[in-house]
Amino acid sequence: MLHAFSLGAALMVVWGLLSGMPEPLLMGLGVASVVLTVWIAHRMDVVDHEGHPIHLGPRALVYFPWLIVEIIKANWDVAKIILSPKMDIHPHIFKTKASQKSDVGLTTYANSITLTPGTVTITMDDDGIFEVHALTYGAREGIETLDMDRRCTAMEGMSKTDDKSDKTPGPTSSGPTTSGPTSSGPAS
């Protein structure tokens, strides 16, 4: 029930911010829409800890500002590459193992990789191994430091050392697996 109230409050805030006009009719329609939406979501049984993860709230307030800074830094790096006459890119695909245990944690980590310019999560297998496309070796190194993985696991609220500390290899390379003439540079 707490999730339903939290969802309703979040929807009301979004409605209020998007409407921009605090007129009684619009506020009444907003309340009716939110109540109907929360009721439908509750009946469909999608208001749960994964559908509306309020338990991540306090930790997300630390993670998402860090992620925004990382996105800005990666945007700057990609912009420099694009504007450079040399176009120093080395597209390649590599694998990395995620240490998150929940679907929300794995999805957040995969989306964080994809949101960071220069990297895209392509696939994830059942063991939590992601296949990632990187535009440059520097973008790959950003993932290989495992800083994002560690921070995402901390946001998820589970310790990375719970049962994977000795079993979790870092990123693994599948070699320069790009197709066509875009594969250049040293193999890793």
Which residues are CB-neighbours of 122 under 8 A, at least 6 positions away? 93, 130, 131, 132, 133
Highest mean predicted confidence (pLDDT) among 5-9, 22-26, 53-57, 91-95: 91-95
CA angle 82, 124, 63 (to 5 degrees): 65
| Model confidence at 160: pLDDT above 60 | no
| Model confidence at 157: pLDDT above 50 | yes
Q: What is the pLDDT of residue 32?
A: 93
Query: pLDDT by residue (tens digit) across 86-140?
Result: 888 889 999 999 998 888 889 889 999 999 899 999 999 888 899 999 998 888 9
Domain-located, residue 90: yes
User: CA 13 → CA 6, 36, 106, 159, 164, distances in Å?
Assistant: 11, 16, 28, 33, 40
Q: What is the pLDDT of residue 95?
A: 94
Domain that holds residue 102: 57-157
For the chain, what is the domain count? 2
Domain-located, residue 99: yes
Pair (86, 141) in one structural domain = yes
Number of H helices, E strands in the chain: 6, 4
Would you give the DSSP letter of residue 52? S
Domain-located, residue 179: no
Average pLDDT estimate for 157-171 = 47
pTM above 0.75, yes or no: no
Pair (28, 104) in one structural domain = no
Q: What is the pLDDT of residue 49?
A: 59
Pair (100, 144) in one structural domain = yes
Pair (61, 48) in one structural domain = no
Pair (96, 30) in one structural domain = no
Pair (43, 70) in one structural domain = no
